[in-house]
Amino acid sequence: MESLAMGGYGAYVWTCFGLAAAVLIINEWRVRARQSAVYKEIEVRIKALEESA
Amino acid sequence: MTDRERPMPSLLDGLIAVARRDLLLAWKRPGDVLNPLFFFAMVCTLFPLAVGPSAEQLTFSGPGVLWVAALLAMLISLNSLFISDFDDGSLEQLLVSPQPLPLVGLGKTISHWLTSGLPLVLVSPIVAITYRMQGDVVLVLMLTLTLGTISLSLLGSIGAALTVGLHRGTALLSLLILPLSMPVLIIGANTVSLAAGNETYSAGIWALSAYAVGTLSLAPYATAAALRISNE
Amino acid sequence: MWKWFHQLASPPHFYRIAPIFSAVLLLPGLALIAYGVYSGLFLAPMDYQQGDAFRIIYIHVPSAYLSMMAYMIMAVAGGIGLIWRMKLAHAVAASAAPLGAWFTFLALATGSIWGRPMWGTWWEWADPRMMSELILLFFYFGYMALRGAIDDTAKADKAAAVLALVGVVNVIIVHYSVEWWSSLHQGQTIMAKDGPAMDPAMLYPLLANIFGFTLLFGSLLLRRTRTEVLFRERRTRWVKEMILAPEGQS
């Protein structure tokens, strides 16, 4: 398709858009992963303290 | 008179006292002054060895190489700006002294410049001549180095204050100071290049002077804040 | 009005409302980006100088803009935390740094990729904007390295705030000195990346992307700050009560 080829510059243009998507997705994933990791870690510690109390 | 009745020493006295103490300490440890100078000379030797000693290459790269070497030598000397005081507890004493902390920081920075920046400026002609720099260009080099190393001492004192007491301080200090020193390097080295090419270079001198004055007015406050933070 | 501000500064309150604001930013942001990307790629007319390669602008400019905005946020938040001792402000600054660094990287990568077909080289030292962006990345690394090197959180916050404030002044000076340097050494003509005045069909997708990316950045920043707050407050009572409460959220 002509639009995919981007007048010969396709590789450059699509790489850039792909990079942008990757950066956004990676950061989205990292934010979520860190939130659940931190939450779980605190949860485990607090529940353990409750148990021994 | 008891201590209570004796008036506090004037600000200038305080500044001189701090600077003089550091100068005396440096006098007792000549290595602290000489090592960065040897480093400067050695770095300047590396480039012809690595890249080739042709005359064109030397004249072309001279301003830049000398400036980069001077910057790196200043970085080395900045490492020890507050360290020895921190280690033996005198830094804490300076922090609680009635003299304003920015002034104390300025005093130390002044003596730092006198023992690192000034020697570099004085040694630079020797190295510059080996790079086939013409006499008038050497003078421009010395002028830019004087102004530039003043700014570098001041900016470096902020970085040194932020990292004093950190065990992995050394590489971190360079990482902090290098971006801050890029404008000085860019303007300084390129001004000398312009002089070497017989073009007008006054703009760079003005810019470096402005930068030196600006950092002189503002950096001591940042250094003082950083010292307080590092010593809590 | 100050009550709202004080409430905002309270960690448990922020923790509760951040996800709502994050969603409010995220959805319009995604919509704007969808429009911006689609029309930028397929609807905007081709640039007569650069052909279709100019479409990289729709990623490059928003990232560059965000890389600088994030640094400003870092510095301002650090200043607020330093002067008014607001813990939340420090958490915002800490969270903004990695995000800003990512967008700086994206700006550099897209700028480099754009440069290849335009100037035939992957990196043009003489381009002042790319050089300023590179030095900005170094500023980010220094900031994050300083934070990482100081173990005590409060101390790290204050030291980082001082560094960011010093850096803000320098970033501006770096920009101008690199511009001057580039004017001295320009061997070839550096093509202006945005070309002559952009016609609306080219401009609107760009604006949409700038806004869209900014909203997305805001959403990421809010959620990252929220996690940072949770981590810093992990030993407080409100966290304990929240975790033990039966509604079990995340």
| Tally of domains in chain C | 1
Considering CB atoms only, which of A20, A31, A47 is closest to C224?
A31
- In degrees and rounded to multiples of 5, residue B34 shows phi and psi of -75, -35
Give the global pTM: 0.89
Can chain C be said to touch chain B, i.e. do they have 3 or more Cβ pairs within 8 angstroms? yes
Q: Are B51 and B140 in contact (CB under 8 A)?
A: no
Contacts of C35 (CB under 8 A, 6+ apart): C205, C208, C212
Residue C134 inside a domain? The answer is yes
Question: Which CA distances in Å does B177 have to B76, B94, B174?
Answer: 11, 24, 5
The beta-strand segments (E) located in chain C are none
Residue B1 inside a domain? The answer is no
C-alpha torsion sign, points B134, B135, B136, B140: positive
Residue C11 inside a domain? The answer is no
| Single-letter amino acid, residue B105 | G
Question: Which CA distances in Å does C77 have to B220, C85, C103, C144?
Answer: 22, 11, 19, 15
Q: Are B151 and B211 in contact (CB under 8 A)?
A: yes
Mutate to test the interface with B, among C132, C146, C153, C179 (most CBs of B within 10 A): C146
Instruction: Compute the average pLDDT of residues C62-87.
Output: 95
Q: Are C165 and B218 in contact (CB under 8 A)?
A: no
Residue C71 inside a domain? The answer is yes
Q: How far is C12 from chain B (nearest CA, A)?
A: 27
Q: Are C56 and C113 in contact (CB under 8 A)?
A: yes
ipTM over 0.85: yes
Q: B176: which chain C residues are within 8 Å (Cβ-Cβ)? A: 142, 145-146, 163
> C157 to chain B: nearest residue by CA?
B229
C127: its two tokens: 């381009």
Contacts of B121 (CB under 8 A, 6+ apart): B142, B145, B146, B149
CB contact under 8 A, C138 and B175: yes
> C48 to chain A: nearest residue by CA?
A7
d(CA B46, CA B49): 5
Q: How confident is the model at residue C197 (pLDDT cuts 50, 70, 90)?
A: low
Whether A25 has its CB under 8 Å from any CB of chain C: the answer is no
Residue C164 inside a domain? The answer is yes
d(CA B30, CA C231): 49
Contacts of A26 (CB under 8 A, 6+ apart): C102
DSSP run (H or E) holding C142: helix C128-149
Q: B166: which chain C residues are within 8 Å (Cβ-Cβ)? A: 149-150
Q: Which domain holds residue C219?
A: 17-191+202-244
Per DSSP, the three-state class of C51 is strand
| Tally of domains in chain B | 1
The residue among C126, C112, C20 whose CA lies nearest residue C63 is: C112
Q: A20: which chain C residues are within 8 Å (Cβ-Cβ)? A: 59, 63, 106, 110
> C214 to chain A: nearest residue by CA?
A24
Of residues C124 and A44, more confidence is placed in A44
> C168 to chain B: nearest residue by CA?
B180
* pLDDT confidence of residue B166: 83
Instruction: Compute the average pLDDT of residues C169-175.
Output: 88
Q: What is the pLDDT along chain B (232 residues), one digit of tens a residue?
A: 666 777 777 888 888 888 999 899 888 888 889 999 999 999 999 999 998 888 888 999 999 999 999 999 999 999 888 888 888 888 888 888 888 899 999 999 999 999 999 999 999 999 999 999 999 999 999 999 999 999 999 999 999 999 987 876 568 998 999 999 999 999 999 999 999 999 999 999 999 999 999 999 999 999 999 999 998 7
Count the residues in chain B: 232
* pLDDT confidence of residue B66: 96
* pLDDT confidence of residue B110: 94
Q: Where are the domains of chain A?
A: 2-52
Question: Which CA distances in Å does C193 have to B37, C72, C107, C112, C179?
Answer: 44, 24, 13, 12, 15
Task: Name the one residue in this structure whose structure tokens are 């779980």.
Answer: A40
Residue C197 inside a domain? The answer is no
Kindly tell me if the per-residue pLDDT of A2 is higher than 60.
no
CB atoms within 10 A of CB C95: 25
Q: Are A31 and C227 in contact (CB under 8 A)?
A: yes
pLDDT by residue (tens digit) across A31-52? 999 999 999 999 999 989 888 8
> C175 to chain B: nearest residue by CA?
B183
Can chain C be said to touch chain A, i.e. do they have 3 or more Cβ pairs within 8 angstroms? yes
CB contact under 8 A, B166 and C150: yes
Task: Name the one residue in this structure whose structure tokens are 């989205």.
Answer: A28
Q: How confident is the model at residue C217 (pLDDT cuts 50, 70, 90)?
A: very high
Per DSSP, the three-state class of C47 is strand
Q: Which domain holds residue B196?
A: 11-230
Residue B126 inside a domain? The answer is yes
Chain centroid, CA A50 distance in Å: 33
Q: How far is A24 from chain C (nearest CA, A)?
A: 8
Of residues C55 and C158, more confidence is placed in C158
